[in-house]
Structure 1
Amino acid sequence: MDKKLIIQKIREHKKQPNLRYKLKERTEVFTNLLFYTLFDIETPVETNLDKLETEFDSLVHLACWDTERPCKKVWENYVAKLPTILELLNLDAEATVNCDPASLSIEEVYMAYPGFYAIAIYRLAHELYQVGFPLVPRLMTEYAHRQTGVDINPGAVIGNSFHIDHGTGVVIGETAIIKDDVKIYQGVTLGGLFVAKNLQKTKRHPTIENNVTIYANATILGGETIIGENSIIGGNAWLTDSVPANSTVFHTPEIKIKTQVNAS
């Protein structure tokens, strides 16, 4: 095929006028700068806040395609919330130190725990999601997902002192509600019972009440599913119905062990 014709055909099929991958790249720069500003002791806060505002301006330019939306005004409100977000994240880090016997220091949690990093980026993205800032919150949490294996939709509502242990394979859906002092382990899914576009504006994901522990590879589905406070959900459990407070839920597989006698 003639090269000019190939170019013409490609151009004909590039149908999204606002699809600029530069937005994805700039979001990642902004996310990294934000994380360092909040946590790295050698990163100057005052200088970085100015840099962050500049980066945010570039996101406004790339993401706010509707000129009627006052995206530029978002920054002042957002930056004012950063101290509160940092306070919440410090509680998350302390929860991990208190829960995990393998954690040797709180510095280790901040620097080496994928669950904490995923929660941090979620909390920073959630504030932008709440004000309707387009696309950037999802790009932020997807960036964390790519690095940690933890997929938290920025629309989820998560309370204080949240702990994710190990993290890989965790999925938390957009309308999930997680209250205070909840602990979850790798492979946990808080998902939707049905997948259909007409459910977009409905609560599709479960509610987890205070002080619940959910062990590895448990799956909890449905917007009406509520896990009552102080409950323990065992590994590999599959739940689509609510669980009363103070419950323990077990999955009991049948395990058979065959041992050869006098095997040489």
Structure 2
Amino acid sequence: MDIKSIIDKIILHKKQPNLRYCLKEKTEVFANTLFYTLFDIDTPVEENLKKLEILFDELTNLACWEVEKPCSELWKKYVSKLPNILEKLNLDAEATVNCDPASLSVEEVYMAYPGFYAIAIYRLAHELYIDGFPLVPRLMTEYAHRQTGVDINPGATIGESFHIDHGTGVVIGETAIIKDHVKIYQGVTLGGLYVAKNLQKTKRHPTIESNVTIYANATILGGETVVGENSIIGGNAWITSSVPANSKVFHTPEIKIKTQPHVS
């Protein structure tokens, strides 16, 4: 096969007319610029907001494939929400300082805690998601996922003072609802009990009420599953039905230790 035939066949099979990877790259720049604008003390807010508006305009041009949708009107609405998002993120950072005895300062949380970074990008993405602009938020949270190992779908609903400790392997599904003052540890999954395309419009992921702690590698599944307030879910627990308020749920493994007899 000559080179022209190869080129023609590749072009023939490139079937996605809107698939432009520069959208992914520009979204990552947008997410980082947002993060610096909100937190870095040396970053000028007014100047960066102008940069962000330009970046956002580029994103809407790339991501708004249906021209009748007024994506260009989103920026003013979105930027007005940034002070409230920052206020919530400060509460998240304070929750981490208060929860984790290893944290040395709130500055350390902002700069070094993957859980906080994932929450920050989620909160910044979520407001765009609820305004009906889904692709860019999804790219934002996937960027945070790649950076931190924490996978939070931008459609999830998360209350105030949320803390993720360590973070690696955490998965929070699109229709999960997490109330206030919730703490989760590495490897926790808030997932769907069933996987089928016809469930796309239904609540597939659990609800976690306020003041709940979920320890490492616990799995909580199902849209009708509710973990009641003030409950503790132990590590490695597998939960597919609701848990009453003020409960403690533990998985008890059977551990056997075999030793070889002493050989002289």
Structure 1 unaligned spans of 5+ = none
| Structure 2 residue 173 is the aligned partner of structure 1 residue 173 | yes
Alpha-carbon displacement from aligned partner over 1:80-101 (angstroms, at most 9, x marks no partner): 0000000000000000000000
State the alpha-carbon separation in 2 of the partners of residues 242 and 228 from structure 1.
8
* SS of match in other structure, 2:80: helix
| Structure 2 residue 251 is the aligned partner of structure 1 residue 247 | no
* SS of match in other structure, 1:32: helix
Structure 2 unaligned spans of 5+ = none
Amino acid at match of 2:101: P
Runs of 4+ with deviation above 3 angstroms: 259-264
1:92: which partner in 2? 92
State the alpha-carbon separation in 2 of the partners of residues 263 and 231 from structure 1.
49
1:150: which partner in 2? 150
- 1:186–1:19 Cα change, 3 Å: same
Amino acid at match of 1:76: K
Q: Which moved more, 1:252-261 or 1:195-204?
A: 252-261
Report how far residue 68 of structure 1 moved: 0.4
* SS of match in other structure, 1:251: coil
Amino acid at match of 1:183: K
Alpha-carbon displacement from aligned partner over 1:115-142 (angstroms, at most 9, x marks no partner): 0000000000000000011410000000
1:191: which partner in 2? 191
Report how far residue 259 of structure 1 moved: 3.2
CA RMSD of the aligned region, Å? 0.8
Amino acid at match of 1:151: D
Indicate conservation of the 8 Å contact 1:152/1:171, yes or no.
yes
2:258: which partner in 1? 258
1:56: which partner in 2? 56
1:221: which partner in 2? 221
| Structure 2 residue 9 is the aligned partner of structure 1 residue 9 | yes
* SS of match in other structure, 2:190: strand
2:42: which partner in 1? 42
| TM-score, structure 2 normalization | 0.99
Indicate conservation of the 8 Å contact 1:64/1:134, yes or no.
no
Report how far residue 217 of structure 1 moved: 0.2
State the alpha-carbon separation in 2 of the partners of residues 134 and 119 from structure 1.
17
Report how far residue 157 of structure 1 moved: 0.1
State the alpha-carbon separation in 2 of the partners of residues 128 and 143 from structure 1.
15
- 1:100–1:263 Cα change, 3 Å: farther
Indicate conservation of the 8 Å contact 1:214/1:235, yes or no.
yes
Alignment of structure 1 residues 102-117 onto 2, 5 Å: 102-117=102-117
Percent identity between the two aligned chains: 83
Report how far residue 245 of structure 1 moved: 0.2
1:130: which partner in 2? 130
2:161: which partner in 1? 161
State the alpha-carbon separation in 2 of the partners of residues 147 and 216 from structure 1.
20
| TM-score, structure 1 normalization | 0.99
Report how far residue 261 of structure 1 moved: 4.8
Indicate conservation of the 8 Å contact 1:63/1:134, yes or no.
no
State the alpha-carbon separation in 1 of the partners of residues 60 and 115 from structure 2.
29
Alpha-carbon displacement from aligned partner over 1:169-196 (angstroms, at most 9, x marks no partner): 0000000000000000000000000000
Alpha-carbon displacement from aligned partner over 1:69-89 (angstroms, at most 9, x marks no partner): 100110001000000000000
Amino acid at match of 1:50: K
Amino acid at match of 1:59: L
Amino acid at match of 1:54: I
State the alpha-carbon separation in 2 of the partners of residues 261 and 246 from structure 1.
47
2:66: which partner in 1? 66
Report how far residue 258 of structure 1 moved: 2.4
* SS of match in other structure, 2:87: helix
Q: Which moved more, 1:21-30 or 1:252-261?
A: 252-261
Report how far residue 65 of structure 1 moved: 1.1
Alignment of structure 1 residues 28-39 onto 2, 5 Å: 28-39=28-39
